[in-house]
């Protein structure tokens, strides 16, 4: 496989929150604080009414003194546009030598004077939504090492959080495991990866091969999924990721409260069993030995009793571990992985 240049982010991070006041708009920053607190030196808020992520408030000068190397825009606004009022603050950070990292659709180079500020200090402007330009097509070649891929009944059902929780649980149990990011927030958490939803369709499976290269026989890549085979809007990226990942195992992710496909309300959500069957059928094209090891369910909208009954019933139906990875942990899935090693 040809050498592909992928972005490497440099921690520690100063999380830039601008002036957003709601946690949903700050979900990128919140994800960093939750999953890689060791990489976060603090937050930079424009005013006291801004959302608070519970980490130290630092200005640019204080963050640099504390060792920060990158300013990460921790905001995900509707439409993905950059707020031009942030320009003076971003320029200040770039002039201070901080890399500016963004997962938004807007180009950082569109911010007035920012490119000149970065050039002056030698800092980098990093748009993590931009895929590498020299990706190969998929080869289907069998790679060494093991892989688990998160798949879903729909998009936004918890694939990233499930992958992170599983990788942490495996590491805690002494297994060799690495979270492999396929989206912008996951890349900021991991420090590297490829945003597969920004990859030209012909190269999606090749990108997945680059994300999870040859590794030691006992090493597991835990690959963040994207979209769903059942979502008409995003099924293409899901299939390319499935073939290129060549998973030895899949974990199905599901939202217990969802009834229709999120972007296509005329389509009913598939059953978990249907999702398992179709994903295994498609995955066998590149790995005939693939198995499903369990189901991660977002039960946040269920009561404690309803959650327990739902997961027990689903587990009995599928004869697989069915868990809420955030509330219950992933030990049951790690037990299944141990059976495959």
3-state helix, strand and coil shares in percent for the chain, rounded to the nearest 5: 40, 20, 40
Question: For residue 206, what are the contacts with CB-CB under 8 A and spacing of at least 6?
Answer: 135, 136, 137, 138, 139, 244
Tell me what pLDDT residue 144 has.
Answer: 97
Condensed to tens digits (0 to 9), the pLDDT of residues 1-24 reads 556 767 789 999 999 998 888 887
pLDDT value at residue 113: 94
Q: Average pLDDT, stretch 270-298?
A: 98
pLDDT the model gives residue 224:
97
What does the pLDDT average to over 228-246?
A: 97
Name, in order, each residue with C-beta under 8 angstroms of 38's C-beta and a sequence gap of 6 or more.
none
Mean pLDDT, the chain, whole residue set: 94
C-alpha–C-alpha distance, residues 20 and 107, integer Å = 20
Q: How far apart are CA 210 and CA 143, in angstroms?
A: 11
Which of 70-74, 78-82, 85-89, 157-161 is least confident? 78-82
Average pLDDT value for residue range 121-147: 94
Tokens 């030691």 belong to residue: 216
Of residues 78 and 148, more confidence is placed in 148
Show the domains of the chain with their CATH numbers. Answer: 13-127 (3.40.50.720), 146-340 (3.40.50.300)
Give Cα separations from 108 to 56, 122, 163, 188, 218 (angstroms): 26, 15, 29, 16, 40
> pTM for the whole thing?
0.91
pLDDT band at 268 (very low <50, low <70, confident <90, very high): very high
Query: Quick one: pLDDT at residue 85?
Result: 81
The answer to whether residue 79 scores a pLDDT higher than 60 is: no
* Cα 268 to Cα 209, 229, 258, 265, distances in angstroms: 32, 13, 9, 7
pLDDT for residue 270 is more than 60: yes
Q: How far apart are CA 313 and CA 325, in angstroms?
A: 17
Span 195-219, pLDDT tens digits: 998 999 999 999 999 999 999 999 9
More confident residue, 83 or 243: 243
CA-to-CA distance for 79 and 62, rounded, in angstroms?
Answer: 32
What's the pLDDT score for residue 35? Answer: 94
Give the separation between CA 107 and CA 113, rounded to whole angstroms: 13
Burial class from Cβ neighbours inside 10 Å (0-12, 13-18, 19+) for residue 281 reads: exposed
């Amino acid at each position: 496989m040809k050498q592909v240049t992928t972005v490497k982010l440099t921690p520690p991070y100063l999380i830039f929150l601008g002036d957003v006041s709601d946690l949903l708009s700050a979900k990128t920053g919140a994800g960093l604080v939750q999953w890689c607190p060791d990489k976060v030196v603090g937050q930079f808020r424009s005013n006291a009414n801004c959302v608070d992520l519970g980490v130290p408030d630092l200005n640019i000068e204080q963050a640099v003194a504390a060792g920060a190397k990158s300013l990460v825009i921790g905001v995900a606004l509707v439409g993905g546009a950059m707020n031009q009022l942030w320009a003076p603050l971003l320029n200040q950070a770039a002039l201070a030598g901080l890399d500016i990292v963004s997962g938004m659709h807007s180009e950082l180079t569109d911010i007035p004077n920012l490119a000149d500020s970065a050039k002056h200090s030698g800092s980098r402007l990093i748009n993590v939504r931009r895929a590498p330009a020299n990706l190969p097509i998929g080869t289907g070649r069998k790679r060494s090492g093991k892989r688990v891929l998160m798949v879903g009944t729909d998009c936004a059902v918890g694939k990233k959080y499930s992958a992170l929780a599983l990788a942490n649980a495996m590491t805690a149990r002494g297994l060799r495991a690495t979270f492999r990011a396929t989206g912008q927030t996951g890349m900021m958490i991991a420090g590297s990866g490829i945003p597969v939803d920004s990859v030209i369709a012909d190269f999606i499976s090749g990108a997945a091969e680059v994300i999870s290269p040859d590794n030691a026989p006992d090493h597991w890549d835990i690959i963040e999924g994207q979209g769903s085979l059942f979502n008409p809007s995003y099924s293409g990226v899901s299939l390319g990721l499935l073939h290129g990942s060549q998973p030895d195992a899949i974990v199905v992710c599901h939202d217990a409260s969802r009834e229709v496909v999120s972007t296509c309300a005329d389509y009913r959500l598939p059953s978990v069993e249907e999702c398992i069957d179709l994903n295994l059928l498609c995955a066998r094209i590149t790995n005939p030995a693939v198995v499903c090891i369990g189901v991660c369910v977002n039960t946040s909208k269920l009561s404690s009793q309803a959650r327990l009954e739902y997961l027990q019933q689903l587990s009995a139906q599928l004869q697989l571990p069915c868990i809420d990875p955030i509330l219950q942990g992933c030990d049951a899935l790690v037990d299944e992985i141990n059976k495959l090693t």
